[in-house]
């Protein structure tokens, strides 16, 4: 087996106003022909910088490859002149990005975008190139490729766009394909299809693949070997099977353990910080923390009365048409949803993008006005409340959003952000009392109370999400909707935030609706789970029932698409 | 395409890394920090500061108050006598003093027209962008109507109603220049009102005034700052043109009236009055232009190197 790519002692530095930041430190690994190497790490670990270095795309300045070699078929890419590098890039080495929406040019037909690559690198004439791109679209499984080649990117779904990106990447039959989180933005069922497709293509063209992701579940399914990066360093490399069975570095162990499983989980998820301290020294995890328990669904009428009841809720958006802009039809984002939720319990809401789960959450809080139906909260129908009453009601019901970057006002300090809800609802007698409460909130969500004078951009994604939680708690609500609240976070941070949500639920008796596309996360945190599709509930039951004995075909398909998080070889061994 | 996306990815990740190192600093402080690192921008800021200082002193009557005084012979050339270093005009008045007084006129025109345009532009733009619907339709109809009248015609008609003079110039320039700002603010507010932080404000029970004034407007203020810098130079140039056409400042020297006077003087090879006013105007307009671009880069670093 010959090596296609050898990375030897690679170091990449970035010059910033705060000094030199080493993004990649002395990293070495190989990518053999026809094999897939998984590169795993959290954001900021240097995994993407490594891949950009291979593509010769490190922006210089401020970036610079300070040491090491990148050998591609024996030739060093680091010292190669740009003109020669340009021939290799796109021709021998191709790359697929996370965001198919922004990686395609919106003003050109997809067919001509693929054709352009072929004309540029393969010297084809326009007619040949067009025919070849139709053939490529066929290979990546786009339905009706001849007609689809004439489509513009916005006419395609997310999964289809990612397929087009793959078609573009393999157009010149590259020897090495670098995939930077190619499936992170996709729904699970689409993710599975895309991964299967990439497997087939790798087989067909005998490509080497470097697959970058933060999701160990996907890695287990796809990679032959795994390289783990942490804080710019390579901490572990081994075969996928060994990584999952005999991980040696505590970070790797933490990374494997922090992903919630679909069956049993510990009462609180393990996190990387359970496995090592700040100086990367290994810690011994107490066995009781590791113990996995079955989910028990229990409540009693007195402690857990029905807090929220939704009756036949509809949210319809008018579709305008015709020359006069009349309403010709309605898009039924939420179409007759009913459920009851008991105090202190969590309802998980899962479904693929566009199923209406976010709209449902906002309609319950009347951030979007429902078209029809009732929302009964604590015995009162809140759909009838006027503006003023509704505003008072907001102290009882809160929401935590998905994107911790855009859900905090960048011009306000954390203190102002936390004090605002208290001001609005007259909580706390004076300023001093309010600030005391803000400090208390900061500590409750695991942040340093001294950081109140800071601004949101000075915090990491996980910390920002904690601030959002603190803001929601500032009005002492009983009910919180978490709308994809952990989806934008790294897995290890995600586990910490999930644990925090559970701790807070226990302490304050909170009731949650937890909306997510990630079925394993929903399973971990919820007592009951509702599966949503096309604005309606497909299935609503206790979490165990939905996951272990799904009744509907739709739920079964969804569950089978989730990456198992166990390498193929191990699965085969377990089954035999 | 590929390269661009990769670079954007990189930038986001790098920013994340840098952010965890940095000290407590608001976005305004960050922008200021970026601005002062740009040497050319700092020079422009100093030039603008000097002009402002001269204008202020002149406005307080501390310098150039005696611009109408005869200090030497008619049309004395420059660099011959310290009392009238830049020469004199027809009536023997010092050109330097007139330039200084013209600075006061120019800067005050920039300032007052901005003070008129900004409240109108921000208020209408924010209301249109935030509420949408019929409010938006009315405001858009209004500003498209205003902007479809040729600016110079509007100015002339305002001058006709109010009479000639500096007040007319203030009002005329203020009332014609808010449209551009209004458009920018409207677009930016539309973008921001759907951001999650505004929805989060709704969720904690904030009403429309609070969401608009406390949350959205601080996030579009950078547009106002950039606009002001560019508005100053547009206003200064407009004043010069209006005064040159004889519908602007009268009864006191401004750069425009000086250039107007100079059109007859050039035939007699008297160039210094024209040169004095033109150079003074050119330097400050250039400084404001460069500063406007530097401010844009500093306040919105994501834009740098693109578009």
Task: Reply yes or no on whether the pLDDT at B270 is more than 60.
Answer: yes
Residue A344, SS3 per DSSP:
coil
* Measured CA angle at B187 (ends A454, A100), to 5 deg: 80
| Contact assessment for residue B83 and residue B72, using Cβ atoms and an 8 Å cutoff | yes
Task: Reply yes or no on whether the pLDDT at B304 is more than 50.
Answer: no
In chain B, % of residues over pLDDT 70: 90
CA distance B294 to chain A (A): 18
Task: Reply yes or no on whether the pLDDT at A558 is more than 50.
Answer: yes
Tens-digit pLDDT profile for residues B1-60? 444 444 444 555 455 444 444 455 778 888 888 888 888 999 999 999 999 999 999 888
Residues of B in contact with A367 (CB under 8 A): 199, 202-203
- Distance between CA atoms of residues B261 and B239, nearest Å: 15
User: In residues, how long is chain A?
Assistant: 576
Q: Cβ of B195 and A59 within 8 Å? A: no
pLDDT recorded at residue B15? 52
Closest of A172, A205, A211 to residue A191, by C-alpha: A211
| Contact assessment for residue B129 and residue B96, using Cβ atoms and an 8 Å cutoff | no
| Contact assessment for residue B113 and residue B173, using Cβ atoms and an 8 Å cutoff | yes
Give the best-scoring range by mean pLDDT among A160-164, A317-321, B28-32, B209-213.
B209-213
Q: What is the DSSP string of A253-295?
A: HHHHHTSPPSS-B-SS---HHHHB-TT--B-PPPHHHH--B--
**In chain A, whose CA is at the least distance from the CA of B219?**
A411
pLDDT recorded at residue B189? 94
| Contact assessment for residue A33 and residue A222, using Cβ atoms and an 8 Å cutoff | no
Options 3.40.190.10, 1.10.1380.10, 1.10.357.10, 1.10.3720.10; which CATH number does B27-303 get? 1.10.3720.10
Tens-digit pLDDT profile for residues B73-83? 777 777 777 77
- Distance between CA atoms of residues A448 and A248, nearest Å: 32
- Distance between CA atoms of residues A421 and A431, nearest Å: 13
Tens-digit pLDDT profile for residues A399-421? 998 888 888 998 889 999 999 99
| Contact assessment for residue A485 and residue A358, using Cβ atoms and an 8 Å cutoff | no
Residue B195, chain A, CB below 8 Å: the answer is: yes
Q: Domain locations in chain B?
A: 27-303
Q: Cβ of A458 and B19 within 8 Å? A: yes
Residues of B in contact with A406 (CB under 8 A): 195-197
More confident: A431 or B24: A431
* Residue from the list B6, B27, B37 with its beta carbon closest to the beta carbon of A455: B27
Dihedral-angle region of residue A512 (phi above 0 means left; psi in -120 to 50 means alpha; beta otherwise) = beta
Alpha-helix runs per DSSP H in B22-60: 27-36, 39-59
Residue B14, chain A, CB below 8 Å: the answer is: yes
Residue B19, chain A, CB below 8 Å: the answer is: yes
- Assigned token pair, B263: 């059109």
Task: Reply yes or no on whether the pLDDT at B305 is more than 90.
Answer: no
- For an interface test with A, the pick among B199, B203, B225 (most A C-beta atoms closer than 10 Å) comes out as B203
Residues of A in contact with B200 (CB under 8 A): 399, 401, 407-408, 468, 471
* Residue from the list A14, A105, A475 with its beta carbon closest to the beta carbon of B204: A475
The complex scores an ipTM of 0.76
* Least confident span in A21-30, A206-215, A317-326, B90-99: A317-326
- Give this prediction's pTM: 0.82
Mean pLDDT along residues B235-260: 84
In chain B, % of residues over pLDDT 90: 31
CA distance B202 to chain A (A): 7
* Residues 29-58 of chain B whose Cβ lies under 8 A from any Cβ of chain A: 33, 37
Mean pLDDT along residues A450-458: 86
Q: How many CB atoms lie within 10 A of CB B213?
A: 11
Residue B133, chain A, CB below 8 Å: the answer is: no
Tens-digit pLDDT profile for residues A140-154? 888 888 888 888 888
Dihedral-angle region of residue A422 (phi above 0 means left; psi in -120 to 50 means alpha; beta otherwise) = alpha
Tens-digit pLDDT profile for residues A154-198? 888 777 888 888 888 888 888 888 888 887 777 788 788 888 888
* Residue from the list B13, B205, B210 with its beta carbon closest to the beta carbon of A395: B205
- Distance between CA atoms of residues A265 and A260, nearest Å: 7
- Distance between CA atoms of residues A466 and A453, nearest Å: 16
Task: Reply yes or no on whether the pLDDT at B306 is more than 70.
Answer: no
Task: Reply yes or no on whether the pLDDT at A262 is more than 70.
Answer: yes
Q: Cβ of B13 and A401 within 8 Å? A: no
pLDDT recorded at residue A101? 67
Q: How far apart are the first and last CA of chain A?
A: 29
Provide φ and ψ at A324, rounded to 5°: -95, 0
Mean pLDDT along residues B240-253: 82
pLDDT recorded at residue B6? 46
Dihedral angle, C-alpha A461, A463, A465, A471, nearest 10 °: -140
Residue B201, chain A, CB below 8 Å: the answer is: yes
Tens-digit pLDDT profile for residues A100-119? 667 788 888 888 888 888 88
Residues of B in contact with A420 (CB under 8 A): 201, 204, 206, 214
Count chain A–chain B contacts defined by CB atoms under 8 A: 147
């Amino acid at each position: 087996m010959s090596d296609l790519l050898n990375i030897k002692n690679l170091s990449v530095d970035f010059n910033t106003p705060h000094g030199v930041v080493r993004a990649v430190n002395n990293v070495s690994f190989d990518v053999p022909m026809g094999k897939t190497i998984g590169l795993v790490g959290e954001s900021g670990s240097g995994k993407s910088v490594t891949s950009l270095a291979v593509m010769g795309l490190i922006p210089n300045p401020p970036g610079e490859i300070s040491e090491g070699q990148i050998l591609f078929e024996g030739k060093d890419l680091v010292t190669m002149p740009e003109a020669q590098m340009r021939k290799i890039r796109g021709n021998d080495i191709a790359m697929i990005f996370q965001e198919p929406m922004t990686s395609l040019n919106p003003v050109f037909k997809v067919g001509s975008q693929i054709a352009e690559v072929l004309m540029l690198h393969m010297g084809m004439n326009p007619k040949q190139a067009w025919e070849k791109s139709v053939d490529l679209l066929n290979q990546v499984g786009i339905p009706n490729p001849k007609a689809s080649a004439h489509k513009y990117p916005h006419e395609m779904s997310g999964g289809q766009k990612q397929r087009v990106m793959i078609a573009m990447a393999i157009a010149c039959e590259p020897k090495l394909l670098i995939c930077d989180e190619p499936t992170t933005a996709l729904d699970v069922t689409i993710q599975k299809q895309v991964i299967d497709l990439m497997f087939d293509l790798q087989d067909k063209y005998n490509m080497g693949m470097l697959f970058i992701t933060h999701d160990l579940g996907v890695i287990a399914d796809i990679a032959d070997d795994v390289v783990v990066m942490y804080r710019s360093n390579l901490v572990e490399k081994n075969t996928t099977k060994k990584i999952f069975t005999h991980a040696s570095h505590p970070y790797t162990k933490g990374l494997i353990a922090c992903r919630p499983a679909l069956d049993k989980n510990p009462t609180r998820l393990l996190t990387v910080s359970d496995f090592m301290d700040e100086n990367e020294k290994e810690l011994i995890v107490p066995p009781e923390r590791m113990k996995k328990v079955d989910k028990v669904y229990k409540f009693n009428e007195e402690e857990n009365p029905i807090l929220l009841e939704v009756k036949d809720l509809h949210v319809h958006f008018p579709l305008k048409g015709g020359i006069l802009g009349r309403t010709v039809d309605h898009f039924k984002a939420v179409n007759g949803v009913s459920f009851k939720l008991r105090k202190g319990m969590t309802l998980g809401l899962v479904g693929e993008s566009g199923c209406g789960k976010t709209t449902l959450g906002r309609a319950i809080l009347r951030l979007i006005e429902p078209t029809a139906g009732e929302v009964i909260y604590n015995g009162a129908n809140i759909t009838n409340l006027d503006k003023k009453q509704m505003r008072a009601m907001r102290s009882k019901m809160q929401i935590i959003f998905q994107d911790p970057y855009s859900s905090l006002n960048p011009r306000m300090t954390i203190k102002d952000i936390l004090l605002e809800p208290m001001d609005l609802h007259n909580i706390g007698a004076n300023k001093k009392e309010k600030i005391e409460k803000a400090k208390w909130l900061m500590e409750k969500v695991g942040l340093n109370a001294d950081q109140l004078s800071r601004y949101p951009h000075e915090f990491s994604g996980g910390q920002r999400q904690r601030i959002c939680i603190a803001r929601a708690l500032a009005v002492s609500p009983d009910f919180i909707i978490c709308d994809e609240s952990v989806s934008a976070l790294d897995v290890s941070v995600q586990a910490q935030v999930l644990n925090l949500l559970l701790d807070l639920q226990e302490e304050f008796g909170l009731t949650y609706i937890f909306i997510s596309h990630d079925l394993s996360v929903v399973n971990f945190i919820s007592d009951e789970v509702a599966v949503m599709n096309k604005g309606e509930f497909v299935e609503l039951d206790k979490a165990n029932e939905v996951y272990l004995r799904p009744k509907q075909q739709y739920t079964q398909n969804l569950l089978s698409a989730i990456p198992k998080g166990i390498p193929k070889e191990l699965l085969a061994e377990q089954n035999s | 395409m590929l390269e661009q996306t990769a670079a954007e990815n990189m930038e986001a990740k790098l920013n994340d890394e840098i952010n965890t190192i940095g000290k407590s600093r608001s976005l305004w402080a960050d922008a200021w920090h970026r601005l002062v690192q740009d040497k050319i921008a700092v020079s422009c800021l100093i030039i603008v500061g000097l002009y402002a200082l001269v204008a202020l002193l002149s406005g307080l009557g501390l310098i150039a108050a005696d611009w109408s005084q005869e200090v030497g012979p008619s049309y004395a050339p420059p660099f011959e006598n310290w009392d009238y270093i830049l020469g004199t005009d027809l009536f023997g008045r010092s050109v330097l003093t007139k330039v200084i007084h013209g600075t006061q006129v120019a800067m005050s025109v920039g300032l007052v027209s901005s003070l008129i345009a900004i409240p109108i532009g921000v208020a209408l733009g924010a209301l249109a962008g935030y509420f949408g619907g019929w409010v938006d339709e009315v405001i858009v109809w209004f500003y498209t109507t205003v902007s479809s009248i040729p600016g110079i015609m509007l100015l002339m008609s305002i001058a006709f109603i109010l009479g000639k003079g500096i007040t007319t110039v203030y009002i005329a320039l203020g009332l014609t220049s808010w449209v551009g700002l209004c458009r920018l603010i409207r677009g930016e507010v539309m973008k921001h009102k759907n951001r999650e932080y505004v929805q989060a404000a709704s969720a904690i029970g904030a009403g429309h005034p609070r969401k608009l004034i406390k949350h959205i407007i601080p996030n579009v203020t950078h547009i106002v700052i950039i606009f002001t810098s560019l508005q100053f130079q547009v206003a200064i140039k407009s004043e010069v043109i209006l005064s040159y056409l004889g519908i602007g400042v009268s009864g006191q020297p401004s750069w425009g009236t000086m250039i107007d006077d100079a059109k007859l003087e050039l035939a007699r090879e008297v160039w210094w009055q024209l040169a004095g006013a033109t150079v003074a105007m050119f330097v400050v307009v250039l400084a404001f232009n460069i500063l406007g671009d530097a401010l844009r880069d500093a306040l919105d670093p994501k834009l740098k190197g693109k578009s």
